[in-house]
Structure 1
Amino acid sequence: MGNKILTVFFICVCIFGANIQAMEKEHSPRIIKLLNEKWEYRPISTVGKKALFTPVAIPHTWNAAPVEGTTLYERKTMVYQRPLEIAEAKEGKRFFLYFEGVNSVAQVFLNRRTVGEHLGGYTAFCYEITDLVKQGENLLEVWVSNAYRTDVLPISGDFNINGGIHRPCYLIITGEDCINPAFYASPGVFIHQDNISDKQADIRVKTLLSVKSKQQDLKLKTTITDAENKVIASNEVPVTDSIIEQPIRIEHPHLWNGKKNPYLYKVTVELYNGSDLEDRVVQRTGFRYFKVDSDKGFFLNGEYLNLYGFCRHEDVAGRGSALLLEDYQLDMELIKEAGATAMRLAHYPHAEPMYDLADENGIVLWTEIPMCGPGGQAYTGYVGAEGYKNNARQVLKELVYQKFNHPSICFWGICNEILVNDGKKFIEYDNPIPFIKELNNMYKSLDSSRLTALATCVEQSYYIGTSDLIAWNKYFGWYKDAAPSVSKFFDDAYKAAKGTPVGVSEYGAGASINQHQWPLRIEDRADSRFHPEEAQTYCHEGNWEAFAKRPFLWSKFIWVFADFPSYMRMEGEVEGYNDKGLITRDRRIKKDAFYFYKANWNPEPMAYITSRRFTQRTNNLTDIKVYTNLKEVTLYLNGVKIGTMAPDEIKRVVWNNVRLAEGRNVVRIEGKSGKMLVTDDCVWYYFTK
């Protein structure tokens, strides 16, 4: 088979969130005020002047929990409002409102006058309000709707759409001349590459200006500093247009090298009027290049990097998608603990902190627009209406411009499980292929430095040629297929792809931490109310054993990082819940399968006894399975040595048919890493029926 290589050289920077942090740390004429407090909200149907509002701070969502007694959740319209105090004199100032995300449709009003409308809940938007705002107190009002609409993505999906102002909001104050914050709510600064290597980095810093004054002595200065804050390059040019490009060369750059060395530079772009500083935007930067080889997988800076990790939804117990900074930080610590090298941010653009944390920790990202379907369910996820297409085009531009500069992003996602009209099984659906091709071309026109990807759950031949990469959502061992069939399936997909790199965008199985079974009886568990934790580990072991032997798979993404609510699910221990997470929704319990991957992905010495929550036993003969990356471990039962074994190629040790004593049983394992003793233990109870 011919070898098709897709090569990319590029440089990226972190945007608005990092920019705000930098502004807080060093003097700048640009003022950024966080507007997360003093909000209140009520249903739009309560129109009386004396109708009560409920005080709230944002990020906020009104439907983190389902309607009591159902799996459904509220999809309606709420009114949020807060006072907006303007202490500064307006003369010579410009004022902008910046929302990181309002789900799903936002209509913004200031002093009862329309500011603008934004369609889509997972991208930022920014409006200038200079002509509407007054000095003193103003009333800021946002009408928020998460109702079903075919002109707002997503129109369907296997997850809940939390309504609300679920990401932070800011007031930005600049002078008359500024670096434009309103261009698709981007930083207004984009860093393009011409050539990146370990010898030199040739880049062009593109800055978008918004000039209102008649000053003739404007100039733009761009400075690059390293991790020690040492200036390593700079460029200063007169302002002759609203778009300025500055070429800069950096000799012997430190490359952003994933988890090995996620090295970041700082780019400072300053607008001067003579010697007076008018505006400043600060970005962080990573230099790197990469490629995907259809036979050998992903290469970062010329070296093979095995891409594996989780798909992740923005959801946490009690808050839904209205996450706080500590939620993102906790998730990143868990991602690092597992040893993941990559993440797929499903199925929409995520909030800024996750991209910043990925930059800082060297996690490679696939990020996508919310053009997704629920696979084999009743709805396609795609309609051919022009309103739908326009929203997809808009969100794509917002995603690219807002996240363009993050070094962690390698892949732009086009769609997920959008079913093709094949003239047979799916003949009733609008054919999405022409539009998928259009979106692929849009990505390439806006950013040719990255690769495009899509995820499919049906015949790949219809999608070959619509994106650079293709990946599969397949659940071997869960939906009727047996785990060993994964090998044949992906070998066949690899051969049929004709040089298009093939990856795995989703795989996994459900599990309840309260349901257990031994001996394990594997059957079609997809629609069952019984999702034993042991079945999840069985599926993951079988899949990973096959994936590990196939380096041509450019990605391996587990579905899913943590359990999350989904109105359409009627299975498992709790209805309205997708329990395929390797961590519980509250992040308190890591399931057995999490430790399977930790043993395979994280070199930190560990040993873990599986089925530890299966505490009440009615069978006195059981297998005892351990996940470990040690050379060998020793098993003790009630203080008696059972034996010492070395793990197999997927870091698994199994003692078969171990006999439990009547009553309480203490299971303990020990192993050594150098001089360090590694142990784990749990307690099981066996009682005769």
Structure 2
Amino acid sequence: MHYKKNIIVTILFLLFQLADSTAKPFNHASSGRETIPFNKDWQFYFAYNFEKDIKKETVTLPHTWNAMEVLKGVPDYNRASAIYENKFNVLPGWTGKRLFLYFEGANSVATVFVNNKSVGTHKGGYTAFAIEITDAVKPGENSVTVQVSNAYRLDVLPLHGDFNIYGGIHRPVSLILTAKNCISPLDYGSSGVYLKQKQVSKASAEIEVLTKLSLSDDEALSLKTTLLDGNKKVVSTLTSNIGKDQNQELSQSIKLSNPHLWNGKADPYLYEVRVELLQNGQVIDQRSQPLGLRYFSVDPDKGFFLNGKYLDLYGAGRHEDVSGKGSALTDEDHDRDMELMKELGATAARLTHYPHSKHFYELCDKNGIVLWSEIPFVGPGGYTGTGYVKDAELESNIKQMLKELIRQNYNHPSVCFWGLFNELKLNWDDPQPFIKELNTLAKQEDPSRLTTLASNLGKNSYTDLTDLMGWNQYFGWYGGKFDEVGVWADETHAAVPGKSISISEYGAGGSPFKHTEGLIRPEAKGNFHPEEWQTAFHEKHWEELKKRPFLWGKFIWVLADFGSAIRTEGDANGINDKGLVTYDRKIKKDAFYFYKANWNPEPMVYIAERRNTNRSKALTSVKVFSNVANAELWVKGKRIGKKAKNGLNTMIWENVQLSKGNNDILVKTKYKGKELSDSCVWILQ
């Protein structure tokens, strides 16, 4: 009897699975909120309208249609309109539920249709958005169609920029199921929960928990908020009743004695705040958010302070762009970039030139990386147009993006700075009055953080618009000499007394496949970008920058090479090659190891110019980057001698004799009894 019953249950289960295979991917719903990935089996095709008999490609999100095309160095890459289609089943158990589609990013404008009915449009490719589809669905199979366009337009950021605007649903999508009463998913794509750090010190902390609610009836409800420590142990709990006349948000206060502070890389400690919406004592919705308690400030003469102690902020700008993938990155791609930042020894990062993936902010929280995060309000780069026009629709879009940036990332302790623009010019419509409006808006949205900008104009431009300043400078690449960066920093510091300044970009192109024996200055717009010049650029810049603590941030341009369709320089068209790592992340250039030796305390030794294999000069120098006190050089098995590191954690052996043919170069050292070594082969012609 039981045997027959089990057969029937198994058959019914298999039939259900078969029926569900054509309309993925959902199969159940619990009593609370569910967030269900919706990334597989999308049908993709190019069209300005919906077409029946057209060839479609099955794709998995994240996806972009430009990833391979831009590798050809095509300046007029396909900025067009395309369609994504999928299906899902609404199950009987979903009766009484509310349904939302949540997009982490669709570039640049997306209009969503459910069962051929328009349910919403979002303008902007780098911020999340949620659309309620409760009234658009029906029991059984439902269709979702998304029309996405990355075509150029004057009412959506970015208007220009020295990076590619990859078209597509380039970040994950999910379906959210909630009860009729829920914590709102519709507040500018945010979590609906805001952790406002009203007061934080080593002795105490006060946090206001503001929860946005979406209530469809007046049934008695309550909100329970729980603070958990890093081991998931309950620290405190408070419950508030929601009255029938309660508005759509509720504020609660948490007070804490002797808090464990989030202290950057040294101790990135995270609490968790869990907010639960209850009805008749049962949890009907829940949101959990990270809480990193910290306080920070910037002094115009002394730099950045975290929890009352000076912290030298240095790191690199980062683009979400990988060779062959464009901006359609997986969590594994983001994890790899974080590992590169950690190996580098960075304490900070500038997330350029747009809000980055949700996953990457979480990684920065967990690893203690201090962030500058910004909106895609950027100047023309190598284009001849403008990054701003005085237009009501564009200005509305920019304000929307700023609100989305702030609200979606409000609870990340890693974020300390909101960036308002990058390299805007003054030769078209004057953006300054509008930037002042943006600064006011940023302060209204989040008075706890500091605003900043990145300028490539003179030292007296844009200095009264934001709390802090940043300048993009390229001495020794786009004109000038390496050591002029120190003079520039001192003169700028003196020119704007009382203003906290940073260097928001500095860098030079470099190919690991192009080399010189001795330094030869390349043309920035030429094809020959030797690795040696890039390394020398960074050596001299860091020598100057490290001596100036008043620079509150020092940001290399850039972590990894990235796509820029307008560029026709370096090894390949369509690539900005200023990265410390190649576009595919496979080669760490010499400059990467220079910074690793200076920023990362983990013992290491690295022979520079190792890829400059074929040599024409018998007398050469050998340069080694190491943070160990001294090291010993061997050439073809012959001991050359020992050198101590200098102030830049570099050792140089001059006038080293090479022999015809292969020369085995070996460097050895010891640290706490452990041997470290590096080797390469140079061939004297």
* Pairwise CA distance, 1:200: 1.1
Amino acid at match of 1:61: T
Unaligned 5+ segments in structure 1 are 1-25, 421-425
Task: Tell whether 2:612 aligns with 1:614.
Answer: yes
Unaligned 5+ segments in structure 2 are 1-28
2:369–2:414 Cα contact (<8 Å) kept: yes
1:375–1:419 Cα contact (<8 Å) kept: no
CA distance in 2, matches of 1:192, 1:513: 46
2:73–2:568 Cα contact (<8 Å) kept: no
* Pairwise CA distance, 1:32: 1.1
CA distance in 1, matches of 2:649, 2:309: 25
Q: What is residue 43 of structure 1 aligned with on the other side?
A: 46
Task: Tell whether 2:237 aligns with 1:238.
Answer: no
Which of 212, 215, 227 is the matching residue for 2:216? Answer: 212
* Pairwise CA distance, 1:233: 1.1
Amino acid at match of 2:35: I
Cα deviation digits, residues 41-64 of structure 1 (max 9, x gap): 101158542212110010000001
CA distance in 2, matches of 1:148, 1:662: 57
* Pairwise CA distance, 1:655: 1.4
2:106–2:170 Cα contact (<8 Å) kept: yes
2:361–2:414 Cα contact (<8 Å) kept: yes
CA distance in 2, matches of 1:479, 1:540: 14
CA distance in 1, matches of 2:480, 2:111: 47
Amino acid at match of 1:682: C
CA distance in 2, matches of 1:243, 1:98: 21
2:107–2:168 Cα contact (<8 Å) kept: yes
Task: Tell whether 2:261 aligns with 1:255.
Answer: yes
Q: What is residue 489 of structure 1 aligned with on the other side?
A: 488
Task: Tell whether 2:680 aligns with 1:676.
Answer: no
TM-score under structure 2 normalisation? 0.94
1:65–1:73 Cα contact (<8 Å) kept: no
CA distance in 2, matches of 1:594, 1:680: 16
Amino acid at match of 2:303: G
Task: Tell whether 2:202 aligns with 1:203.
Answer: no
* Pairwise CA distance, 1:522: 2.4
Q: What is residue 356 of structure 1 aligned with on the other side?
A: 362
CA distance in 1, matches of 2:618, 2:86: 64
CA distance in 1, matches of 2:525, 2:335: 34
CA distance in 1, matches of 2:359, 2:35: 17
Q: What is residue 97 of structure 1 aligned with on the other side?
A: 101
Sequence identity, in percent?
50
CA distance in 1, matches of 2:383, 2:671: 49
* Pairwise CA distance, 1:674: 1.7
Q: What is residue 590 of structure 2 aligned with on the other side?
A: 592
2:305–2:311 Cα contact (<8 Å) kept: yes
* Pairwise CA distance, 1:90: 4.6
Q: What is residue 55 of structure 1 aligned with on the other side?
A: 58
CA distance in 1, matches of 2:673, 2:30: 51
Amino acid at match of 1:664: N
Runs of 4 or more, structure 1, over 6 Å off, are none
Q: What is residue 159 of structure 1 aligned with on the other side?
A: 163
* Pairwise CA distance, 1:466: 0.2
TM-score under structure 1 normalisation? 0.93
* Pairwise CA distance, 1:657: 2.3
2:162–2:382 Cα contact (<8 Å) kept: no
Q: What is residue 662 of structure 1 aligned with on the other side?
A: 660
**How many residues are aligned here?**
653
SS at match of 2:286: strand
Amino acid at match of 2:86: R
1:510–1:580 Cα contact (<8 Å) kept: yes
2:44–2:57 Cα contact (<8 Å) kept: yes
CA distance in 1, matches of 2:145, 2:217: 30
SS at match of 2:528: coil
Task: Tell whether 2:85 aligns with 1:81.
Answer: yes
SS at match of 1:682: strand
SS at match of 1:336: helix
Say which is worse superposed, 635-644 or 160-169, in terms of deviation.
635-644
1:89–1:135 Cα contact (<8 Å) kept: no
The alpha-carbon distance between structure 1 residues 624 and 27, as it changes in their structure 2 partners (threshold 3 A), is farther
Say which is worse superposed, 384-393 or 345-354, in terms of deviation.
384-393
1:66–1:72 Cα contact (<8 Å) kept: no
Amino acid at match of 1:446: E
Q: What is residue 307 of structure 1 aligned with on the other side?
A: 313
CA distance in 2, matches of 1:71, 1:116: 32
1:28–1:280 Cα contact (<8 Å) kept: no
1:375–1:418 Cα contact (<8 Å) kept: no
Q: What is residue 226 of structure 2 aligned with on the other side?
A: 223
* Pairwise CA distance, 1:659: 1.8
2:107–2:170 Cα contact (<8 Å) kept: yes
Q: What is residue 463 of structure 1 aligned with on the other side?
A: 462
Amino acid at match of 1:330: R
Which of 319, 322, 347 is the matching residue for 2:353? Answer: 347
1:194–1:204 Cα contact (<8 Å) kept: yes
CA distance in 2, matches of 1:132, 1:366: 39
* Pairwise CA distance, 1:69: 6.7
1:375–1:457 Cα contact (<8 Å) kept: no
Amino acid at match of 1:488: V
Amino acid at match of 2:438: L
Q: What is residue 8 of structure 1 aligned with on the other side?
A: none
Please show how residues 272-671 of structure 1 align to structure 2 within 5 Å: 272-375=278-381, 377-420=383-426, 426=427, 429-523=428-522, 525-671=523-669
CA distance in 2, matches of 1:435, 1:59: 34
CA distance in 1, matches of 2:197, 2:315: 28
SS at match of 1:514: coil
Cα deviation digits, residues 211-255 of structure 1 (max 9, x gap): 11231x211110001011111111111113221100111111100
Amino acid at match of 2:435: I
CA distance in 1, matches of 2:276, 2:135: 25
CA distance in 2, matches of 1:573, 1:275: 64
CA distance in 2, matches of 1:27, 1:500: 53
Highest RCO, 1 vs 2 (Cα 8 Å, sep ≥ 6): 1
2:73–2:573 Cα contact (<8 Å) kept: no
SS at match of 2:297: strand
Task: Tell whether 2:36 aligns with 1:33.
Answer: yes
* Pairwise CA distance, 1:378: 1.6
CA distance in 2, matches of 1:308, 1:682: 30
CA distance in 2, matches of 1:282, 1:120: 26
SS at match of 1:72: coil
CA distance in 2, matches of 1:376, 1:228: 50
CA distance in 1, matches of 2:383, 2:174: 39
Amino acid at match of 1:348: Y
SS at match of 2:399: helix
Q: What is residue 186 of structure 1 aligned with on the other side?
A: 190
* Pairwise CA distance, 1:616: 1.1
Amino acid at match of 2:194: F
Q: What is residue 131 of structure 2 aligned with on the other side?
A: 127
Say which is worse superposed, 456-465 or 51-60, in terms of deviation.
456-465
2:73–2:575 Cα contact (<8 Å) kept: no
* Pairwise CA distance, 1:673: 1.1
Task: Report the RMSD for the aligned CA atoms in angstroms.
Answer: 1.4
CA distance in 1, matches of 2:584, 2:562: 9
